[in-house]
């Protein structure tokens, strides 16, 4: 269903994104080893990744690093190793064929379709080497990390170093990384830091954009038609304007209307409410670092766009802060993807979040 509020997994459920799918496919076929899927929250990165993996002829495994981190409060090598192995366990053919290579990896045991880490000797690098050997005959193995910026919490496990080693030496592997918090993703990867392991490494970036107004309208029409739910063109136009081409909000709006039989305005309000509860945990984590984030977001949402104006607003509300501390907070918000900086002005690029932040 086009409006289903979960990441899509099949091509038929994915609206458009033909070019992006082809771009990924071509990059993998060319043997590129590092692909990044970039885009704001709710633009459809996870969906695109899922569908790309299901369409590619290559064996593939995927780990959702944000989910893993929330579940285990850690992404050390045992945790990520466990997730990689369990992703493999879910793919019978892959596991069957890769078994003889996996047997060489120290610290894991295989019985039937269960692969487990059994000792401290386990190393991610050895696991990747085994997959690389498997890939030599089976074809390039694609390893995907959704919300990869969370890999920066690896502690003693340095995933940037592991990735750099793999990209340089394991020619039968392709890594696909996505991240909503693009700034944090690049902070983790550090392509421009000469001291960092991934310095200067080639990466193919696939950038997801929002739907154009025409595409957004088309998406809504198609979804409502599929759900046999009647709407007017005026409602569609209005929703397109309010939700500004962000597939996640468009789908949620459609889903809410079609499943709960709500009117247009009610559904828009409900999208705001749902969006709010969706980002609540993320926001509360952010505000726990500093309550100033709340006020800065609110200020920008209210229309203060210049560095100085935002700082004045913050000072008025919460008192003195020095320039460099303020800049750091603002910069972190830009990295998190909540705030965008364009031509010296700061703004909230997502209209739904903008409305939510106004009420903070
Ligand atoms: N091209 C699309 N066609 C149909 N539905 C889509 C499309 N893109 C996104 N969606 C829907 O939008 C919602 C958000 O998509 P998804 O979770 O893939 O985005 P995301 O960029 O990974 O979001 P987040 O940054 O929150 O992880 C989901 O309900 C998904 O079904
Ligand atoms: Mg996602």
Mutation to probe ligand 1, out of 39, 46, 52 (largest number of atoms < 8 A from CB): 46
CATH architecture of 290-360: Orthogonal Bundle (1.10)
Residue where the block lists tokens 């229309």: 303
What's the confidence (pLDDT) of residue 226? 96
Q: Is the C-beta atom of 45 inside 6 A of ligand 1?
A: yes
Domain 213-281 in this protein, CATH class: mainly alpha
164: CA distance to ligand 1 center in Å? 29
Supply the pLDDT for residue 49.
98
Q: Per-domain residue ranges for the chain?
A: 17-207, 213-281, 290-360
- What does the pLDDT read at residue 281? 82
pLDDT at 280: 87
Q: Is 248 in the pocket of ligand 1 (CB under 6 A)?
A: yes
Residues of the chain with confidence (pLDDT) below 70? none
pLDDT attached to residue 112: 84
Which has the closest alpha carbon to 37: 142, 193, 171? 142
Rounded to the nearest angstrom, the distance between the alpha carbon of 337 and the centre of ligand 2 is 13
What does the pLDDT read at residue 69? 96
d(CA 181, CA 241): 25
Q: Does residue 17 line the site of ligand 1, with CB under 6 A?
A: yes
- Calculate how far, in angstroms, residue 345's C-alpha sits from the geometric centre of ligand 2: 27
Please state, as a whole number, how many other Cβ atoms lie within 10 Å of the Cβ of residue 172: 18
* Burial class for 335, CB neighbours closer than 10 Å (0-12, 13-18, 19+): middle
Of 38, 251, 278, which is best to mutate to test ligand 1, by the most ligand atoms within 8 angstroms of its C-beta?
A: 251
Per-residue pLDDT, 282 = 82
- CA 28 – CA 121 distance, rounded (Å): 32
Pocket lining: 247 vs ligand 1, CB cutoff 6 Å: yes
Q: What pLDDT digit, counting tens, does each position of 302-339 carry?
A: 999 999 999 999 999 999 999 999 999 999 999 888 99
pLDDT the model gives residue 40: 87
DSSP string of 310-343?
HHHHHHHHH----HHHHHHHHHHHHHHTSSEEET
Count of beta carbons in the 10 Å neighbourhood of residue 71: 11
Q: Give me ligand 2 centre to Cα 168, in Å.
A: 27
The CA-atom distances, in angstroms, between 306 and each of 42, 176, 327 are 26, 36, 12
Mapping DSSP to helix (H, G, I), strand (E, B) and coil, where does residue 38 land? strand
17-207 carries CATH number 3.40.50.300: yes
- Nearest-atom number in ligand 1 for the CA of 147 is 27
Q: Atom 17 of ligand 1 has which residue's CA nearest to it? A: 7
What's the pLDDT score for residue 93?
Answer: 92
pLDDT at 113: 83
């Amino acid at each position: 269903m086009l409006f289903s509020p979960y990441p899509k997994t099949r091509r038929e459920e994915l609206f458009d994104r033909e070019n992006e799918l082809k771009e990924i496919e071509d990059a993998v076929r060319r043997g590129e080893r590092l692909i990044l899927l970039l885009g704001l929250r709710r633009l459809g990165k996870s969906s695109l990744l899922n569908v790309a993996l299901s369409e590619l002829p290559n064996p593939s495994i995927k780990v959702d690093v944000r989910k893993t981190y929330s579940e285990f409060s850690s992404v050390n090598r045992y945790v990520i190793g466990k997730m990689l192995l369990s992703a493999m366990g879910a793919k019978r053919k892959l596991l069957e064929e890769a078994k003889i290579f996996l047997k060489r990896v120290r610290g894991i045991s295989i019985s039937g379709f269960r692969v487990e880490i059994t000792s401290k000797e386990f190393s991610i690098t050895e696991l990747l080497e085994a997959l690389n050997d498997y890939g030599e005959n089976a074809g390039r193995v694609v390893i995907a990390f959704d919300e990869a910026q969370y890999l920066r919490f690896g502690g003693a496990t340095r995933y940037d170093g592991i990735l750099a080693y793999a990209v340089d030496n394991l020619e039968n592997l392709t890594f696909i990384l996505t991240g909503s918090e693009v700034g944090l993703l690049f902070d983790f990867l550090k392509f421009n830091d000469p001291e960092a392991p991934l310095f200067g490494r080639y990466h193919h970036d696939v950038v997801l954009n929002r739907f154009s107004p025409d595409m957004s309208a088309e998406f809504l029409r198609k979804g409502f038609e599929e759900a046999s739910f009647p709407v007017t063109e005026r409602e569609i136009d209005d929703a397109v304007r309010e939700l500004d081409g962000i597939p996640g909000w468009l789908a949620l709006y459609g889903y809410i209307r079609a499943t709960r039989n709500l009117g247009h305005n009610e559904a828009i309000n409900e999208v705001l409410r749902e969006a709010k509860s969706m980002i609540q945990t993320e926001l509360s984590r952010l505000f726990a670092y500093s309550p100033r984030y709340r006020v800065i977001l609110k200020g920008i949402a209210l229309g203060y766009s210049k560095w100085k104006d935002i700082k004045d607003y913050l000072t008025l509300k919460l008192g003195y802060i020095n320039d460099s501390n303020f800049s750091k907070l603002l910069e972190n918000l830009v990295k998190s993807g909540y705030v965008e900086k364009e031509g010296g002005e700061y703004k909230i690029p997502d209209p739904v979040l903008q409305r939510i932040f106004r009420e903070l």
